[in-house]
Structure 1
Amino acid sequence: MRQSIIYTSILLGAASAFPAKFTPREVPQEHAHQAVLDQIDALLGANNPDNIQSSVFGLLGAAAGIKGAGNIKDADCLQQATADQAFTNAKDAGDVAGMTAALIYRGLERNTGSVGLESVPCASIQAVNPEIAAIQQHQDPAADGAAALNKDITLEIAKQIASIGGNPLDALEASTFAPGEIGDPTAKGNTCDDANDKAGCINSLNLRVDDATPEEIQAAVGGAGAAAGAGAAANATAPAAGKIPSNTSSAPAAKGNGKAKAKAGKAKAGKAKGGAAANAGAAEAGNAAAAAGGAAAGAAAGAGAFGSCPDPTIKFGIPSDGRKEEAFEATDLTNFPHGSALNSKVITEFICDQLVNKCKADAAAVSTCDAASAASAGLKGQAAADAFNSALGL
């Protein structure tokens, strides 16, 4: 099987960038979900244009968090900015587990100075990724209305995880602690804080109080959740209470334990359905499909079917996931449950991976999909969709 890619390179000097104690110090719980923080730091190692020092700073109060914010000027937006960059890096790598970790991280509770005090929402920065923009951080469970709000946040995380093809039950990892006592002079409540507990002390000490039941999550995500739960990456499993889900393990996933991505190469003859694309009003797409060559079209005909998923095509327009701008998404969202994307490659490569992992398509069909993805990668809009579909022979 194809495996999600977890970058193992962590920011140079990240371990020394955040000392064990800060002054001033807020409620000590920023390391409670350490497994998630480790994944985010690894993802930041791939591309970190804002020079964010570590994911832990985004969970601190403003006075301490700004010390590691890099180019981010609003400490109350640091958590969102960190999640957004990590999600972008994971999406570029086709890493569902990494995208899942970024969504969970965005929903984690930030430190505040007293039990029941809510953290300040981000207002000055708009997230690039709509999946991240849809989520806010958990609030102190002792705050007014926190139980209902935190449940809504977890359900939204579950929906976004389902939209990228992950296991929506992993959203429970963003859950926080039991409510503390208002007026607690230590400001600690029921928290824990241990940077050396790689599973996250909130899990190891059974302190996590899940905001929703698995049944409520499946009801919230509907068909997308059922499809994701059945066919999403093998790196996603439903977490039991107090246990870290497998896709947020501190150990990086190995790359290349399965099938190597087939390369179709450049074909030099054949028409590859170019006329069909042109008839659809996209001559540019027809040319790209022809560039994929008669070999790609021949492979599609020889494959006969794409395993258990007969329609791996994509479409371009206003998508079904609420995005307001035109974007790409799979035509068959049951077998290919992924949120829309502005870059066709995000969707086409996910489809090709699903043909291996879920649809059990044969090698010829997967090779055709890889060639179709390459044929459409340099195009935009409807031309890219037509090129991909035409090179599939559909």
Structure 2
Amino acid sequence: MKLFALLPLLASMATESGASPITKREVPQELSHKKYLTATQQSLQLNNPDKIQDPVFGLLGNAAAAAGAGSITNLDCLQQATADQAFTNAKAAGDVDGMTAALVYRSIERNTGKVGLKSVTCTEVAKNPEIAALKQHQDPASDGAAAENKAITLELARQIASVGGDPLTALDAGTFSPGDLNDNTGKGNTCDVADDAEGCIFTQNLLVPDATEAEITAAISAGGGAAAAPAAGNANANDAA
């Protein structure tokens, strides 16, 4: 699902979360779950050997993601690499909220070029098994998305519980209602508000839960399992957003 809002950031400006100044970029950004991007950035910057500029780049198409990927060359894995390093840092600090935010961030839907198009699956293995167990949500209008995204949310709940977090937080990784496959704008039923610190998917009540609280409780009780792997594709290879 592609978002078209533009957020110009001048070279003299630093990100809200204290990252290094971002120079000369103006790209579409996925900011709907902003509080989790902010928290992930805070953990990431504690130790950022790959010099990833900001978690938002991991949610963009590859053409735009390259500008903030640092030394990460497999852009289909930038979201995972960002979450993995942030999780590592939060774990070292004993920060359960930071670990939880990194897990949620890893599971957020990544932009693609049109409504109904799935994003590419990262085939590399994350350093942290909690991150390795997760995949990103897929466009809700894509084939099999309801079952796929539900499986991802239930696995996310298990991983959050394993680090001592509230498993119901997994519901926050959900996405929007399905868009119209004939929508040529590619926007779907999304939002993208730069100055909404909470995240517009929450403040505008646009999030569609993938599972019920009872299903999450049952998944935690059952334990085990892994998120259904989204079908691989080429959605992000040349996507400018």
Instruction: Identify the TM-score tier after normalising by the shorter chain.
Output: 0.7 to 0.9
Q: Does 2:204 align with 1:205?
A: yes
Q: State the distance in 1 between where 2:17 and 2:185 align.
A: 37
Higher normalized helix content (fraction of residues): 1
Residue aligning to 2:83 = 83
Q: Higher Cα Rg: structure 1 or 2?
A: 1
TM-score normalised by L of structure 2: 0.83
Q: State the distance in 1 between where 2:74 and 2:194 align.
A: 25
TM-score normalised by L of structure 1: 0.52
Q: State the distance in 2 between where 1:201 and 1:60 align.
A: 17
Residue aligning to 2:20 = 12
Q: State the distance in 2 between where 1:107 and 1:223 align.
A: 21
Q: Does 2:202 align with 1:194?
A: no
Structure 2 portions without partners, runs of 5+: 1-15, 226-241
Q: State the distance in 2 between where 1:37 and 1:17 align.
A: 19
Q: State the distance in 1 between where 2:125 and 2:92 align.
A: 20
The answer to whether the 8 A contact 2:106-2:135 is kept is yes
Residue aligning to 1:110 = 110
Q: State the distance in 1 between where 2:92 and 2:23 align.
A: 26
Q: State the distance in 1 between where 2:17 and 2:169 align.
A: 24
Residue aligning to 2:162 = 163
Q: Residue 38 and residue 18 in structure 1: after superposition, are their counterparts in 2 closer, same or farther (change >3 A)? A: farther
The answer to whether the 8 A contact 1:159-1:221 is kept is yes
Aligned CA-pair RMSD:
1.7
Q: State the distance in 1 between where 2:93 and 2:116 align.
A: 39
Residue aligning to 1:56 = 56
Structure 1 vs Structure 2: percent identity of aligned residues?
Answer: 60
Letter in 2 for 1:58: G
Letter in 2 for 1:151: K
Q: State the distance in 2 between where 1:63 and 1:69 align.
A: 11
Residue aligning to 1:313 = none
Letter in 1 for 2:179: G
Q: State the distance in 2 between where 1:128 and 1:18 align.
A: 32
The answer to whether the 8 A contact 1:66-1:74 is kept is no
Letter in 2 for 1:103: L
The answer to whether the 8 A contact 2:20-2:53 is kept is no
RCO higher in 1 or 2 (8 Å CA, sep ≥ 6)?
2
- For residue 71 of structure 1, report the CA deviation from its aligned partner: 0.4
Q: State the distance in 2 between where 1:10 and 1:160 align.
A: 28
- For residue 195 of structure 1, report the CA deviation from its aligned partner: 1.7
Secondary structure at 1:222's aligned position in 2? helix
| Count, aligned residues | 210
Residue aligning to 1:130 = 129
Mapping of 1:335-346 within 5 angstroms? Answer: none
- For residue 10 of structure 1, report the CA deviation from its aligned partner: 2.6
Q: State the distance in 2 between where 1:140 and 1:99 align.
A: 25
Residue aligning to 2:8 = none
Q: Residue 66 and residue 182 in structure 1: after superposition, are their counterparts in 2 closer, same or farther (change >3 A)? A: same
Structure 1 portions without partners, runs of 5+: 1-7, 225-320, 323-394
